[in-house]
Amino acid sequence: MTGLKLRDIQAGLNLSGVEPAQIVSVVATVPQGDGALQLIYRMPDGTMKERLLLATDEPAISIASAERPFSFEGKGADFQLACEAKRIDFAFLFDPMMAVHTSNVEPLPHQITAVYESMLPRQPLRFVLADDPGAGKTIMAGLYIRELIMRADARRILIVAPGSLVEQWRDELFEKFGLEFSIYSPALEQATANANPFESHHQLIVRLDQISRNEQLQEKLCAPGWDLAVFDEAHKLAAHYSGFRLDKTARFEFAEKLGATTRHLLLMTATPHNGKEEDFQLFLSLLDSDRFYGKFRDGVHKIDASDLVRRMVKEELVRFDGTPLFPERKAYTVNYKLSDLEAALYESVTHYVQTEMGKADQLAGSRKGSVGFALTALQRRLASSPEAIYQSLKRRKERLERRLREEKLGVRGREALAETLQSVPEDDDDLSAEEQENLEEELVDQATAAATVAELEAEIGTLHSLEKQAKDLVASGQDRKWDELSKIIQNSPEMNDATGKQRKVIIFSEHRDTLNYLHERIAGVLGNRDAIVTIHGGTHRDERRKIQAIFRSDPDVRVLVATDAAGEGVNLQQANLMVNYDLPWNPNRLEQRFGRIHRIGQTEVCHLWNLVARETREGDVYHRLLQKLEVESDALKGRVFDVLGEVFEETSLKDLLIQAIRYGDQPEVRARLTKKIDQALDHEHLKSLLNRNALAQETMTADRLFTVKEEMEKAEARRLQPFFARSFFLKAFDALGGVAHPREAGRFEITYVPASIRERSDTRQTG
């Protein structure tokens, strides 16, 4: 009944419209002249109230009709659909592995145990997933995310990844798990009505460096809070102690801020430990700042982190039938002897680097680091190829000549040269491959220890002589390192399959000049430039993805020549052959490179050739390292790769190589360096490292494998069967007015989606 007049309201009536969503009982009425009534009424909870009603209130007030709270006059089919919808909504309560059964993946035992034993039971999750490269950590993260969403435990989810991997994350989450994530970009922000795009989008992927370098973006990102944050390649979140001063990178500070605003925090990296326990404990402080507070002191701060870290090594991973998941991997050391011209150039450039490093020691501040970095890079290019050192010497001489002209015009004296170069981080291994390449390009050409115009003129004279010597070597065509690579490509039986067709091979270089040089030389051997593709730090992300896809799928593309820009998060298991033309000075990168081909899906034995000139100072150190590595790899069944980044705990491999360059002509120094390598790769030392890691390392025994299989079979029996989901969808879709036509077996074509479904979908996405 509507349109009730004020004069009809009497004591004892039940009215609706007086209070929002409430029915009130009239106790008394007092007329207040024409068109007004003082109403005294009782609320459902017994509270007494009064209100002045006017004639304008009449349309909203009506007598409340008494209705039965429940009725059995509804449609049984609608009731059945509603019950079935709720049953599907609660399916995870009965199916403990529902994410597995609703995803386009076939997870392996170690992935099941990671998600359902190590991660899901932890509430809240603060965890490091540190399985070996190629073990499928993205699959584990996707399963975990899907489980949290279905259990209504996470709605706002953020993935933080290196820029080169964000598209890969988005594609895999959608293709394998049906999860639609957006990638943050300025365009996305402009298309968002809300002033804060991080608040409007609940499933988002961001680029680590884009956010860590912009404090304003960080504030906007952290403000709304997150249910789950995942960091990929988390070893980039670095911090170091300099004495008692704590130096945090911008990435580390961003991770600290985000970690404080998220409930679940997952850090993913295959190399959590860089060999320094104090750095590792700083890394763990991102998960628990109280537990890992202060500077680590050996013997005082030994803290068990097994509840925060899960690590499985490749040698432990198996399929459900108990067979090894990964094929065997073999590494070979290829020593080559320098020609007379190469040896002479090596000695000349090394003497120049020694002299300039001595001068750099007298400098202070960031300039010392810049000059040291430039000289180190120059020495590495000397070992890379004649072309790389020639181009580097030429560019360096030209840049310093330009600076000399500017000094003479602007200063007209012998005042100290101004330094405006970019500063170098304390540990340049924290840089991405692309950042390191760009920093080298900037510094190696111009960072100088010269303090006066006269010193600069003298250095330019030395460079002029070195450039001519390098040019003569390039013109001679003598390159013993290339000769060894050519033999590997043309004569190694592993290079061809059973039919005689050449297999795909990846060749890693450290420098772009060498990469271009190898492209030309390999094209001459193969007789086809189109059979070779290249990737370096300057390759745009989209182009990089395109090249990777071509290498994987085009049978005519046989060779990929790449810098470490292709060694981060890339899946290239279509190849099983790799050559380290240039050896990385960070041992962690040896495993990262090998992990590009030695990963899930690889069915062939993987072969790796390491090229090294033992007669050079740094080559002698590296040759000893590779020899010990081969011996211990056999003894430990390949597991030495798992701790390679941790073996140099007191002095890094990079520092040992620099010592070799500066003082390697002294027999006592060479003996000391050999002893250091032997100690680092001593069998007992390696076993102690493996035992230390075993505190946080999972193993897949036969009993445990049987238990996992049994649990999966139980979950399979209890899972929501596809028939019921299909039946519910077709009936509900038809009841709401949708139109779907059967096509081939198991497939339907939807020709009409009613507005009620479309609008509800839009509301749920934006709400």
Per-residue pLDDT tens digits for 189-245: 888 777 788 988 899 999 998 999 899 999 999 999 999 999 998 888 888 887 778
Looking at 92-101, 142-151, 358-367, 689-698, which range is the least confident one? Answer: 689-698
The answer on 463 and 491 residing in a single domain is no
Domain of residue 49, CATH code: 2.30.30
Last residue of a domain, one of 694, 723, 758: 694
Q: Is residue 544 part of a domain?
A: no
pLDDT tens digits for range 408-463: 776 544 344 444 445 555 555 556 666 666 677 667 656 677 777 888 888 889 99
Q: Say whether both 402 and 428 belong to one domain.
A: yes
Q: What is the mean pLDDT of residues 246-271?
A: 91
Identify which of 331, 444, 435, 426 has the alpha carbon closest to the alpha carbon of residue 384: 444
Residue 549: inside a domain: no
729 in the same domain as 745? yes
Is there a contact between 627 and 614 (Cβ–Cβ < 8 Å)? no
| Residues forming a β-bridge with 539 | none
Could you tell me where the DSSP H helices lie in 385-452?
386-410, 433-443
pLDDT band at 465 (very low <50, low <70, confident <90, very high): very high
Q: How many CB atoms lie within 10 A of CB 523?
A: 15
Does one domain contain both 619 and 654? yes
> Once rounded to an integer, what is the mean pLDDT over residues 503-530?
91
Residue 302 has pLDDT above 70, yes or no: no
- Residue 639 sits in a domain whose CATH number is 3.40.50
- Rounded Cα gap, residues 685 and 588, in angstroms: 17
Nearest to 360 by CA among 352, 348, 368, 351: 368
Peptide bond preceding 124: is omega within 30 degrees of 0, i.e. cis? yes
Do both 160 and 197 map to the same domain? yes
CA atoms within a 13 Å half-sphere pointing along the CA-CB vector of 300? 7
445: nearest Cα among 392, 494, 406: 392
* Shared domain check, 450 and 391: yes
Determine the pLDDT at residue 425: 53
Residue 319 counted as domain residue: no
Same domain, 598 and 687: yes
Q: Are strands 14-19 and 22-31 parallel, antiparallel or unpaired?
A: antiparallel
The answer to the question of residue 596 being in a domain is yes
pLDDT in tens, 320-368: 888 888 888 888 889 999 999 999 999 999 998 888 888 877 776 667 7
Dig out the tokens for 117 from the structure: 């034993």
**What's the token pair of residue 314?**
């490749």
Residue of 718, 624, 627 lying closest to 677 (CA atoms): 624
For residues 50 and 38, the answer to whether their CB atoms sit within 8 Å is yes
Q: What is the DSSP letter of 8?
A: G
Closest-CA residue to 309 (of 693, 646, 687): 693
Decide if pLDDT at 687 tops 80: no
Q: Which of 296-310, 344-358, 399-413 has the lowest mean pLDDT?
A: 296-310
322-to-114, 326, 405, 714 alpha-carbon distances in Å: 18, 12, 70, 19
The answer to whether 551 touches 574, Cβ cutoff 8 Å, is yes
The reported pLDDT for the residue numbered 370 is 77
Query: What CATH number does residue 155 fall under?
Result: 3.40.50.10810
**Residue 82: inside a domain, yes or no?**
yes
688 sits in which H/E element? helix 683-694
pLDDT at 694 over 90: no
Please, are residues 621 and 548 in contact by the beta-carbon 8 Å criterion? no
Residues 6+ apart with CB under 8 A from 661: 350, 353, 354, 376, 379, 617, 618
Is there a single domain that holds both residue 369 and residue 460?
A: yes
Provide the pairing of β-strand 532-535 with 329-335: unpaired
Average pLDDT over residues 261-271: 91
Does any domain span residue 699?
Answer: no
Give me the phi and psi of 730, to 5 degrees please: -65, -40
What percent of the chain is modeled with pLDDT above 70? 86
Which contiguous run of DSSP H or E holds residue 85?
helix 76-89
Mean pLDDT score of the chain? 82
Looking at residue 695, its pLDDT comes to 44
Residue 728 has pLDDT above 60, yes or no: yes
- Provide the residue range defining the domain that includes 344: 340-476
Q: Are residues 129 and 271 both part of a single domain?
A: yes
CA atoms of 158 and 161, how far apart (whole Å): 10
Q: Which phi and psi angles does 68 have, rounded to 5°?
A: -70, 135
The H-assigned helical ranges of 527-651 are 541-553, 587-594, 617-635
Any idea what DSSP says for residue 29? E
The answer to whether 383 and 657 have CB atoms below 8 angstroms apart is: no
Same domain, 598 and 736: no
Q: Provide the domain count of the chain.
A: 5
- Residue 650: pLDDT above 80? no
Residue bearing tokens 């304008």: 56
User: Is the per-residue pLDDT at 143 higher than 90?
Assistant: yes
Strand 126-129 to 262-268 pairing: parallel
Alpha helices in 563-682 (DSSP H): 587-594, 617-635, 653-663, 667-680
Both 500 and 640 in a single domain?
A: yes
530 falls within a domain: no
The answer to whether residue 39 sits within a structural domain is yes
CA separation for the pair 646, 629 (Å, rounded): 13
Of 66 and 733, which is predicted with more confidence?
A: 733
Give 720's contacts (C-beta < 8 A, 6+ positions apart): 88, 91, 94, 95, 98, 101
Q: Which residues contact 179 (CB under 8 A, 6 or more apart)?
A: 142, 145, 146, 149, 173, 203
Task: Using DSSP, state whether 63 is helix, strand or coil.
Answer: strand
Q: Do 118 and 230 fall into the same domain?
A: yes
- Report d(CA 616, CA 595) in Å as an integer: 28
Strands (E), 88-238: 126-129, 157-161, 182-183, 203-207, 226-231
Using the predicted structure, report yes or no on whether residue 508 has a pLDDT greater than 90: yes
What tokens appear for 75 in the block? 């449609």
Phi, psi of 40 (to 5 degrees): -110, 125
